[in-house]
Amino acid sequence: MELKRVVVTGIGALTAIGNNADEYWNGLVNGVSGAAPITRFDASSFKTQFACELKNFDVGDFIDRKTQRKMDPFTQYAMVAADEAIKDAGLSIENQDPDRIGVIWASGIGGIQTFQDEVQNFVEGDGTPRFNPFFIPKMIADIASGHISMKHGFRGPNYSTVSACASSTNAIIDAFNYIRLGKADAFVTGGSEAAVIEAGIGGFNALKALSTRNDSPETASRPFDRDREGFVLGEGAGGLILEELEHAKARGAKIYAEVAGGGMSADAHHITAPHPEGLGALNVMRSTLADAYLNPEDVDYINVHGTSTPLGDIAETKAIQAVFKDHAYNLNISSTKSMTGHLLGAAGAIEAIASIFSVFHNVVPPTINHFTDDPELDSKLNFTFNEAQERVVNTALSNTFGFGGHNASILVKKYVG
C-alpha cells in the first residue's frame, strides 16, 4: 500500500527555559540554562539540591481550581502543552471527523507526586485507610491522554506509551504510523513529566545518576565535557500535532516539517547502563534511516540523547561514528538537555520540537557548559559547543534512550510540497 505523508502542524512546550514553544526555542538558541536550586521542597539534605524546575508558571492561568484537584502535575503540564499545540494547529472537531483524531501521550513515570502524597498521608495518619477518591485516576500514566481527548472531543485511538526516557518518542512514532497507514487523520502526541519531588530526586540520587554540582547548578549539565558526572532532572511537557498531509493542506494548516521515519530497538544489556559500544543506539539510528528511505549523508543535525553521564555520552558517540562514518564530521550534534535538564518520559517530545524548529529555522541549538575536551571523544566532531550555529538543516534526527535498554529515534525533514 502507498503510505501517507505525515507533517507537523502544531507545537506546544512547557519547560524550565520557556513556558510556551516560542520562549522555549528562544531559550535554546540563546543557550539558557534552566538549572537552579530546588524551590518546591527543602532539598538541603539531598545529595542533589537543584533541578530544572518550571519558572514563573501558574497552572491557575490555564486550568481552574476544581479541575486541577483531579489532576497530578504531569497531567496539568500535558494539558497546557497539548492545548497550545492544538491552538497552534487550529485543530478542532468542527468540520472534522472526531473519530479520526487521536491522542497518544507519554509519561515515563506518571503521577509520582500523587503517589508520594497519598502514601505519605496514609503512613503519617492514624492507620485508617483514607485515600483521595482521585488517587488512582490521578496517578495512572494513561490519564493525560484521556483528559486531552475528553476536553477536545477527539475519539480516535487513545493511549499512553511507557518506555522510560524513550516514552514520548515512542508516542510520536505510533502516531506517525497510524496516520501513514491511513488509520487516522491527525494525532495530538507528546509527553509530560513531573518528577522533581523528594522521591524523584532521592531515587535518582540512589542510582548515582544525578549531578551533585550544588555549587554551580547552571553548569551542572555538561554533555560531552570531560568533567560530566550525571544528569540534571527536569520537568515539563512537549506537544505536537501530527497530521496527514492532504488533510492538513485541505484546511490550510501551517506546516513546520515532515516526519520522515522512526525506529525502535533494545540494548538487551543492562537495566540502567547503555551497551558499551552503543549497539542499541547504532541499531535504532540505522532502522530509522531505513524507515525514512534516507542515507546517512542526508542527515544534517542530530539532537542526541546526551544526558551528561560518563558512559552514555561515549556510547552514543561511538554509535554515531559507526553509523555515519566520515559523514559524522559534517554533522552538527547537540544535546539540548544541557539547557532543559532531562525530562525523562517527556524528553523525546521537547527534543523532537527542538529538531523540528532546527529544520524550520535553519539553526542548530548548542550544547552549553563545555569547558574541557574529553580525550575519549573525537574532538573533530562538531558538538555545537556553547553557541548556536546557523546552517541549512534539511533533515534532523532525534535520539532517546531509556532505562531498560529502550531506544527510539525519529527523523524530521523540511516539508517540500
Q: In degrees rounded to 5, what are phi and psi of residue 25?
A: -65, -40
Q: Are residues 85 and 118 in the same domain?
A: yes
Please give the tally of structural domains in the chain: 2
Q: Are residues 134 and 282 in the same domain?
A: no
147 counts as catalytic: no
165 counts as catalytic: yes
Say how many C-beta atoms besides its own lie within 10 A of residue 94's C-beta. 7
- For the stretch 89-127, pLDDT in tens is 999 998 899 999 999 999 999 999 999 999 999 999 988
Q: Contact, 341 vs 233, CB < 8 A?
A: yes
Over residues 71-81, mean pLDDT: 98
CATH number, domain of 144, equals: 3.40.47.10
Q: Which structural domain range is residue 375 located in? A: 261-413
Q: Are residues 24 and 151 in the same domain?
A: yes
Exposure on the CB side of residue 69, measured as CA atoms within 13 A = 4
369 phi-psi bin (left φ>0, alpha ψ -120 to 50, beta other): left
Diameter of the chain measured on Cα atoms: 66
| pTM of the shown model | 0.97
- For the stretch 147-197, pLDDT in tens is 999 999 999 999 999 999 999 999 999 999 999 999 999 999 999 999 999
Q: Which of 152, 305, 370, 406 is catalytic?
A: 305
Q: Are residues 133 and 198 in the same domain?
A: yes
342 counts as catalytic: yes
Residue type for 53, please? E
Chain position carrying cell 548515582: 208
Whether residue 255 lies inside any domain: the answer is no
Q: Contact, 286 vs 38, CB < 8 A?
A: no
Collapsing DSSP states into helix, strand and coil, what is residue 355?
helix
Domain's final residue, options 226, 250, 274: 250
- Rounded to whole angstroms, the Cα distance separating 365 from 356 reads 11
Q: Which of 165, 247, 275, 370 is catalytic?
A: 165
Is the pLDDT reported for residue 1 higher than 90? no
Whether residue 94 lies inside any domain: the answer is yes
Q: Which of 152, 247, 275, 342 is catalytic?
A: 342
Q: Are residues 143 and 273 in the same domain?
A: no
Whether residue 256 lies inside any domain: the answer is no
Q: Contact, 398 vs 412, CB < 8 A?
A: yes
Whether residue 1 lies inside any domain: the answer is no
